[in-house]
Amino acid sequence: MNYRSTLEFGKVPGMMRRVARIMIEGYPVTLIRTKNTRKKRIVAAMMNMILVTAFIPVFVLGVYLYSTEVPPRLDWTILKLLEDFANNHVIITIAVSIIIPFIIGVVVHELGHANATRACKKGRVYEYGVIIGLIPAFYTAADDTMITGPYARLKKLQIMCSGVEANLFFAGIFMVLASLCRETSYFFMNCADMQLMFVAINVLFVKGFDGDKVIRIILGMDGKQNETIEIKKMIRSKRYRGILLSQGMVGHMKLITCYVVVFFQLLYPVLVMLNIILLGGMFLW
Amino acid sequence: MVGRDFLYYYDRFILGMVVSFILVVLSFIYINNRKNLKRSESIVLFVFTLFTTIPLNATVCFCLIPELFIFKGVFGIIVIVMSIPLMYATLVSAEEIVVGLIGRLIWPHQKRFFD
């Protein structure tokens, strides 16, 4: 199947999943094309099961170890050299504190989604790539539209949540690693912080992020193409507001839900502004 | 002003967590007992969760305010003013997702939102 001729990037719901779309969209470049084989599906299913069961315990363990144990100094020569090298070169410091943790966070997040999609019998993963834009991002071309059956909604929910689960899992692992040795603690803690930042950003009900898609599936808003227009219509039109208010308690709740969803969409520019201010402040500070 | 240790706020944090947990459980019981909310439980739970998690979210945000005073001057004020609503929204989003997932597991058959 020539999926490139049938896929229009980002326009078919559920067909393309984009990563860390913080800023303006860019041009997608394919890095790896992947086939969907039975063996890969079985491995993905096992890894997904481990992820779902272990992400909370590993995260809690990481938080406990990092907050209670003082990492020991190993005094190995190679670690001292790495620590001095990282601290004395600005570019290496920026790479160690921002760039490498960002790349790890983004890759982990998308691999979580791809893994969960592949774990489903009818889920397909086609390629991994990079989006070249103002801020580079990674993407996974995954298709979960063919997942049907009585548990399809739960499976799609789990696929949406798997990115955040993977970030929490690796945040726990990095915190455990940070508690082992003081020389490498700075790097591993930066990686853990970046994973948690991805969790915090992706749970928001901002359009394009996982939290928005999850809450729409939970509330049953995932059927129509133009839900945002429907929601705005319900808020702006006096007639629609009247119809909702006449439906009793459920109608009132629907109206409040619409206002909350629209409010969260307004958070997107605040999120972008805060990122710009904090990044700028870090360089000026 | 330097941020205080988290243990300083531990009691208030635990109180906020317990109060929110009790309110969430009560909301589940209330929704389960109302027949007119059948098949619309997720929507009602979404709205209830906005209010029942106020104690926990408020205590967490007020715990973190002193930590944010690390930045001084105009820059610090901008960071605080923009960060606290964002922090609150992040907490609400995470709680809505967790409670919504539990609600969906308890009541799997729901009407669509635009029905």
Distances (CA, A) of B41 to A128, A255, B19, B44: 38, 15, 22, 5
The token duo for A12 is 């078919």
- ipTM tops 0.85: no
Q: What is the pLDDT of residues B54-67, one digit of tens each?
A: 999 988 887 766 66
CA dihedral (A270, A272, A274, A278) in degrees, to 10, reads 180
In the predicted model, what is the mean pLDDT of residues A51-75? 84
* pLDDT at A234 (0 to 100): 73
Angle of CA points A199, A221, A266, to nearest 5°: 55
Residue A22 scores a pLDDT above 50: no
Instruction: Give the mean model confidence (pLDDT) for residues A118-133.
Output: 83
For residue A278, give the nearest of B68, B93, B57 by alpha carbon: B68
Q: What is the pLDDT of residue A244?
A: 80
**pLDDT for the residue numbered A173:** 94
Of residues A205, A250, A274, nearest to B82 (C-beta): A274
Phi, psi of B45 (to 5 degrees): -65, -40
Q: What is the rounded average pLDDT of the residues A254-283?
A: 77
Of B103 and A184, the one with more pLDDT: B103
Contact indicator for A175, A65 with CB cutoff of 8 Å: yes
8 A C-beta contact, residue A264 and residue A206: yes
Distance between B75 CA and the closest CA of chain A, angstroms: 8
Highest mean pLDDT among A70-84, A191-205, A218-232: A191-205
Number of helical (H) and strand (E) elements in chain A, helices listed first:
11, 4
Work out the burial of residue A210: count CB atoms within 10 Å of its CB; fewer than 13 is exposed, 13-18 middle, 19 or more buried: buried
Query: DSSP letters along A57-69, please?
Result: HHHHHHHHHHHHP
CB A158, CB A167: distance < 8 Å: no
H or E, element range at A30: strand A27-33
pLDDT band at A170 (very low <50, low <70, confident <90, very high): very high
Query: Considering only CB atoms, which residues of chain A are within 8 Å of chain B?
Result: 153-154, 157, 161, 200, 203-205, 211, 214-215, 218-221, 223-224, 227, 230, 248-250, 253-254, 256-257, 260, 264, 267, 270-271, 273-274, 277-278, 281
- Rounded distance, CA B27 to CA A96, Å? 46
| Predicted confidence (pLDDT) per residue in A175-210, tens digit | 999 888 877 888 888 899 889 988 988 888 887 788
pLDDT of residue B49: 94
pLDDT at A4 exceeding the cut of 90: no
Mean pLDDT (chain A) is 78
Which residues 6+ apart lie within 8 Å of A159 measured at CB?
Answer: A113, A116, A117, A120, A123, A142, A144
The residue type of A137 is: A
What pLDDT is recorded for position A1? 36
Asked if the Cβ–Cβ distance from B113 to A254 is below 8 Å, we say yes
pLDDT of B70: 62
Tens digit of each residue's pLDDT (9 = 90 or more) over B63-87: 766 666 566 677 777 777 777 788 8
Quote the pLDDT of residue A3. Answer: 44
Q: Is B93 on the interface with A (CB under 8 A)?
A: yes
Which 8-state DSSP code applies to residue A275? H
Residue with tokens 């009602």: B44
Structure token digits, residue A48: 């997904």
